Structure 1
């Protein structure tokens, strides 16, 4: 499938196209949360990849002329809910709306798999992610008037609507 000039590709966690997503997320988490890069990278790469694979999950990568520039994943949270994970935009490709493209593609894929709700959490040191989810219509499941560090992980949800197919 394609999104404008971008190609959207479903991959498995060990696919080379997913490597930039995992490495850059580990770097980002280690910097923002002051944890060792190796610890973050190991956690991302050794997490059971089957959780982000069909039939219950997906790992989508956006390619721009064959280069991975953004991506994200979902896994089964419960019978009706998909949990978004690993939302990423390459630091060299930010401010292009790619995060919104990733969210839209993940939502479409989750709805196609029968999920009616999305759940996710983001960290207290990721205000850009909080802004992205709010702008994309997600409902904050926390008190936004409290300081971020007091909240800890910031949970969000969004109810999906199935699009009617024309005959």
Structure 2
């Protein structure tokens, strides 16, 4: 998978976001209504990554800072891999790159939210070193909201 930094408004990101929203409607009955400003994913406050395979968009995710929590925190949003590409380790590659870029930008912790209707996501985050934290964000009062965090280590400078 080729991973590149793109604007949140990139057409391929819009296509993947629409697929993610269909997935959320299937699982929860409604789309994700968390407020998102595309500017939040522009450097230096954030970044957005697009994963492609043979030129086709198959995965995306980004981080943004200054929205929730401590000033050293970034929040991962819109992390998504198309269903036909799941189970191949691509999400692990994508989240590792999100963490690496956040650490290089000087951030010390990643936070995120998911929900009980996505048990695969909850298991994935735990398996990649995330631990449960109190709920935050748009869905913090929703009983199905689950939030996670992971401390980042600063990568060595080359």
TM-score by length of 1: 0.82
CA distance in 2 between partners of 1:62 and 1:161 (Å): 23
Between Structure 1 and Structure 2, how many residues are aligned? Answer: 148
CA distance in 2 between partners of 1:30 and 1:165 (Å): 42
Long gaps (5+) in structure 1? 1-5, 143-149
- 1:110-154 superposed Cα distances (whole Å, 9 cap, x missing partner): 011110101111112100000110110111226xxxxxxx85211
Is 2:86 aligned against 1:94? yes
Q: Secondary structure, in 3 states, of the residue corresponding to 2:44?
A: coil
CA distance in 2 between partners of 1:151 and 1:100 (Å): 27
- Answer 1 or 2: higher relative contact order, Cα 8 Å, separation at least 6: 2
Partner of 2:6: 11
Long gaps (5+) in structure 2? 135-141
Query: Which structure has greater helix proportion?
Result: 1
CA distance in 2 between partners of 1:33 and 1:27 (Å): 10
Partner of 1:69: 58
Identify which range, 97-106 or 73-82, moves more after superposition: 73-82
Q: Secondary structure, in 3 states, of the residue corresponding to 1:60?
A: strand
RMSD: 1.9
1:130 to 111, 116, 122: 122
Q: Is the radius of gyration larger for structure 1 or structure 2?
A: 1
Q: Secondary structure, in 3 states, of the residue corresponding to 1:63?
A: strand
Partner of 1:146: none
TM-score by length of 2: 0.86
Q: Secondary structure, in 3 states, of the residue corresponding to 1:59?
A: strand
